[in-house]
Amino acid sequence: MIKLKEAILQIRSGQPFDLEVCSLDLNRKTGGERKVYAGAILSTAQPGMKQTDGAAAEKQRRYHGTNLTMNIALPNGDIETIHTPLIESFNHKQILL
């Protein structure tokens, strides 16, 4: 078992990690699916945004703390947004809140 705070610190270290999260879409009011991400890393880009869009990315990043979200880059190049309180396991260790 690992505390959520420790898992977030390890995510921010830049090392690849495995996550299991519960999905949530507040706009569509859907979610509840368990998603598994293997070999992900923390991303500085936003979904649908090029890496060169620095000013736009900085504006969007301000809301991650408010919304308790972070973007992760998957090995195939896709970027997913996850809600940090909904992380169920980190590197195959159960999360303690």
- For the stretch 35-63, pLDDT in tens is 999 999 988 755 555 444 455 555 555 55
pLDDT at 24: 80
Average pLDDT of the chain is: 81
Q: Which domains are present in the chain?
A: 2-96 (2.30.30)
Q: Looking at the predicted structure, is the pLDDT value of residue 65 above 80? A: no
Q: What is the DSSP letter of 5?
A: H
Q: The sheet that has 79-83: what strands, in order across it?
A: 2-3, 93-96, 87-90, 17-25, 30-42, 69-73, 79-83
- For the stretch 1-38, pLDDT in tens is 999 999 999 988 889 999 999 988 777 888 788 999 99
pLDDT at 56: 52
pLDDT at 97: 77
